[in-house]
Structures are given as structure tokens and as C-alpha cells.
Structure 1
């Protein structure tokens, strides 16, 4: 049953990219590669934003030290 579901989605999923390629006048493999590359870029972009925000928060904590009283200067 699982293999039937997999074959169904593979058949219709590849059909979508081939129809899109026909409309754009391209090869279907180029369209598939484009979607694969875009998925890697979006994952990498999100991870880069996360690292940048973590760095800014760490830098903010280092610059603005928490002091308990006036005499800690």
C-alpha cells in the first residue's frame, strides 16, 4: 500500500514539473534542479539569519553588562 502511494505521488509530482517545463520551454530536469537548489538556499538563509541574531544577542549581553549596584563600577 505504501509503495502504491509513493508511485502515485512520484507520477503526479514529476508530471507537474514536466508540464511547467513545457509551458516555459525548458527541460524538466532543469525545473527539478531549480526547485532543489531553491530549497537548499531557503534552508541556508534561515540558518544564517538565526546565527546572525544569536551573535547580536551575545554581543548585546557582552556590551551591556548587568551590574547589581552603583559601587560595581
Structure 2
């Protein structure tokens, strides 16, 4: 049940925290907690960074998929 919920959240939350966790070699839950803590301390400004990274990751996936279709 919990794993299903985590999969749904990760699917619809752009995967930014999971991407950062994979790059840094830590658990995604730790990245999510730090993101929440930083958001409260800085009054939500990391949300803008999160949305920018979500856009960037999706753009990168789109470009990669379009390049694979050309071959």
C-alpha cells in the first residue's frame, strides 16, 4: 500500500527529488524532507527551483526521445 502511494506520488511529481537523490547517492525521502524544511524556512522559494528542474528534466527526456526516434 505504501509503495503504491510512493509510486503514484513519484509519477505525478515530476521525479525531481528522485533525480536529485540518484545523482547525489542518497535516499529520495531524505531529499524530499530537506526540500520541505528549506521551503518552510525560506517561505517557499525552492518551489520555483523545483518547477524549473521539473521543466528541465522533462525537456531533457523529450529531446532524448526525439533523438532516438530519428535514428
Give the TM-score taking structure 2 as reference length.
Answer: 0.42
Give the TM-score taking structure 1 as reference length.
Answer: 0.41
